[in-house]
Amino acid sequence: MQDLTHIVEKVKSIAKEAGAFIRKERQNFNLDKVEQKGLNDLVSYVDKQAEMIIVSRLQQVLPEADFIAEEGSAGTSGKDWTWIIDPLDGTTNFIHGVPVFSVSIGLRHLDEIVLGVVYEINQDECFSAVKGHGAFCNEKPIKVSPSKCLSEGLMATGFPYSAFKQLDQYLAVLKALMETCHGVRRMGSAAVDLCYVAAGRFDAFYEYDLKPYDVAAGSLIVQEAGGTVTDFKGGKDYLFGKEILASTPLVYREIQDILSTHWKS
């Protein structure tokens, strides 16, 4: 078995290296450098080069691992270990100069996420977790919020930008939450949203139509901070099932009840 507590230190350094590149490129970035992969699905050379940096460094850390990465990098033919990478989570924010975007790196062993690092570039906050060893932000332990009910909480979500068939259901859930909690925020980076749940800044985060690289690292960080992570039905298919609910345990059931009422997958 790999020494993950040693590996996570290397991964944090890699995430910060990629983050430094992204931060530097943002200074002179303009919209002429943007490509469109699909409806409102944007990418630039910054995403691609950041991914190349991350992949090349991670190949040295764990040569036998595969890769699942947003911009399509492929690893070797390893079977047990897989890096799951979003080199720039919050690309639309980055492109428009909104200072909320991050580097997200998760490590999967067989069917389980065992390591996660999310580096929020603008606040210089590095969130990390190794399974069974707790969650941290800039080396300090973090825990989910102690809120006891939804009416005490602040929620986070992400707005759909292309998958509009379930929009009415999404808006029904949003309405129910808006009427119940302190407020709902939309940051624009699922990895950051998850880490803010882990740090107790948000009490819950939910979103649909997400990809594995959006949630792999952050989902482990939430769980290691004492939170609950499931799909909308309360199951475990949040990595590839395109639905995630991450919450402090004490308000989880209330939010799950709202989802079960308004959301029909």
> Residue 70, annotated ligand binder?
yes
> Residue 243, annotated ligand binder?
no
Please report, in angstroms and rounded to a whole number, the separation of the first and last CA atoms in the chain.
Answer: 38
- Using the CB atoms, write b or e for 1-37: b if 16+ within 10 Å: ebebeebbeebbebbbbbbebbbebbeebeeeebeee
> Residue 214, annotated ligand binder?
yes
In 3D, which of 246, 217, 226 has the Cα closest to residue 155?
Answer: 246
Q: What are phi and psi of 76, to 5 degrees?
A: -85, -165
Q: How many CB atoms are closer than 10 A to CB 211? A: 15
> Residue 111, annotated ligand binder?
no
Q: How many residues does the chain have?
A: 265
> Residue 89, annotated ligand binder?
yes
Q: How far is CA 238 from CA 34, 74, 179, 194, in A?
A: 30, 22, 26, 13
Q: Which residues are annotated as a binding site?
A: 70, 86, 88-89, 214
Q: Which residues are annotated as a binding site for Mg(2+)?
A: 70, 86, 88-89, 214
